[in-house]
Amino acid sequence: MNARRSAIPLSLYFFGLIAALYLPLGVLFLFSFNSNTYLSFPLRDLTLSWYQQLFEADAILAAAGNSLAVAAGSSLAATLLGTMVSILMMRYQFRAKGLLVALAVLPLIVPYVVLGVALLLLFSVLQIDRSLWTVGIAHTVVALPYTLLIIGSRLAGFDPNLEEAAMDLGADYPTTLRRVVLPMIFPAMVSAWLTAFTVSFDEFALALFLAGTRPTFPVYLFSQLRFANRLPVMIALAVLLMIGTLTLVLIAERFRRRGT
């Protein structure tokens, strides 16, 4: 009886948290079909014109292309680096191992605004102009901890005796990595890439400091919010961004479970 009573407040807290997270998204979804430019209830008429205008805007499509290019490149680099660092941490012992782990996960702790200012100063000192390349480098840094944790957790559950058996049969360690380890952790690598892609595509603070003259998708979205007549189109844009992000997260979770 006491257990049931204690479960009721937890259930209320859980459903309240779900409502707080997803109710605003539902309202956003409704207003993306509202023909009125004012965000107020009741809705006047339902329309798809905002989505039509969205796909006819060259600036929006260019910003989306910028984000796709940055996210694809930075997530690939973060996944490769995360795989190498994960193998190094899980299969080797060395003195600076703790320091390496701390440096790898540090971007999870440092606020993105602080990191953005630091990288901006660094690129200025090195006389590197702001561009999509600088955004890609920054996104690789912040996506690395995610790939490291996902791939490292898969390697932690990977039986090292399989590697020893392969080497006992005559394979050197590079061959063992290519023929045994990488096929086993490949689903985790795909999950890590999708997670890093989502992190990069949605990231705003670093891109705001480092994008230069070619804005990414979130930066362009933020810059258009001050125009009242553009707000419905930006809401439609935010809805598509939300749907895409949730889809990638679900796919990444499915690959992660397949790899465990």
Domain at 122, CATH number: 1.10.3720.10
Instruction: Kindly state whether residue 21 falls inside one of the protein's structural domains.
Output: no
Q: How far is CA 247 from CA 127, 148, 257, in A?
A: 39, 22, 16
Tens of pLDDT along 167-226? 767 777 777 777 777 788 888 888 888 889 888 888 888 998 888 788 888 888 788 777
Instruction: Kindly state whether residue 52 falls inside one of the protein's structural domains.
Output: yes
> Over pLDDT 90: what percentage of the chain?
9
* Letter string b/e over residues 152-176, b meaning 16 or more CB atoms within 10 A of that residue's CB: bbbbeebeeeebeebeeeebeeeeb
Please tell me the total count of domains within the chain: 1
* Cα-Cα-Cα-Cα dihedral sign, residues 190, 192, 194, 197: negative
The residue written with tokens 């790899």 in the block is: 259
Instruction: Kindly state whether residue 235 falls inside one of the protein's structural domains.
Output: yes
Instruction: Kindly state whether residue 245 falls inside one of the protein's structural domains.
Output: yes
Contacts of 87 (CB under 8 A, 6+ apart): 155, 177, 181
Mean pLDDT score, 228-235: 74
Instruction: Kindly state whether residue 68 falls inside one of the protein's structural domains.
Output: yes
pLDDT of residue 43: 66
Between CA 63 and CA 218 the distance in angstroms is 8
Contacts of 163 (CB under 8 A, 6+ apart): 91, 173, 176, 180, 181
pLDDT of residue 1: 47
Q: Are 181 and 245 in contact (CB under 8 A)?
A: no
Instruction: Kindly state whether residue 31 falls inside one of the protein's structural domains.
Output: no
pLDDT(76) > 90: yes
Three-state SS sequence of 28-51 = HHHHCCECCCCCCCCCCCECCHHH
Q: How far is CA 251 from CA 10, 74, 154, 234, 238, in A?
A: 29, 19, 17, 26, 20
Between CA 260 and CA 248 the distance in angstroms is 19
List the domain range (segments joined by +) for residue 157. Answer: 48-259
Q: Whole-model pTM?
A: 0.77
Instruction: Kindly state whether residue 4 falls inside one of the protein's structural domains.
Output: no
pLDDT(140) > 90: yes
- pLDDT higher at 92 or 109: 109
Instruction: Kindly state whether residue 116 falls inside one of the protein's structural domains.
Output: yes
* Half-sphere exposure in the Cβ direction for 134 (13 Å, CA): 26
**Residue of 177, 181, 179 whose CA lies nearest to 158:** 181
pLDDT(3) > 60: no
